[in-house]
Structure 1
Amino acid sequence: MSEYSEYNVKKLRRTHKGRIIAGVCSGVGEYLGIDANLVRIALAIATLFGGAGVGVYAIGWLLMPEEGKDSSIVQDLVAKQQRNRDGWGGGEYHSQQPPQQH
């Protein structure tokens, strides 16, 4: 799958190439056209000065779709919850109680 869609729009994705943990930094680097190590250094500095780098990385991991997929981890979880709520979960358990007799 190409990094460009049919409308020639670049998409932000977690990449497989250059991945160290989840591919967030390599995906951002590829999207911005910069070396992924610069993104890693920026996140390391943000982590040292206030700890924001870890949170930003975690948010990227949850919200950025993986290369070759159309949905992120969060989108998959929301869709799963929606299917379960609507009764499309496949293994959903419905408890039926017998009618009350007086």
Structure 2
Amino acid sequence: MGPKKLYKSIENKMICGVCGGIGEYLNIDPTLIRLLMVLLGCTTTGFIIYIVAAIVIPYPPEG
């Protein structure tokens, strides 16, 4: 089995699946990631980080 890869979540998504994917990758509750992103989202930097992550992180391959 190869290294663990970061993907957007398909089942556990609210907007783009970024927080759900990070939560699955780190094996923690995605709600904690969402709360952190809300706090960071209050700044311009946090908003930009989320947008870049939504563009860069891929969906998992089908199958």
Q: Tell me the distance in 1 between the aligned counterparts of 2:37 and 2:25.
A: 16
What TM-score does the superposition give when structure 1 sets the normalisation length?
Answer: 0.56
Corresponding residue for 2:28? 34
Comparing both structures, which one devotes a greater share of its residues to helix?
2
Greater relative contact order (Cα 8 A, min sep 6): structure 1 or 2? Answer: 2
Aligned-residue CA RMSD (Å): 1.4
Q: Percent identity?
A: 31
1:67 Cα deviation from its structure 2 partner: 1.6
State the 4+ residue runs in structure 1 displaced beyond 6 angstroms: none
What TM-score does the superposition give when structure 2 sets the normalisation length?
Answer: 0.85
Corresponding residue for 1:19? 13
Gaps of 5+ in 1: 1-5, 70-102
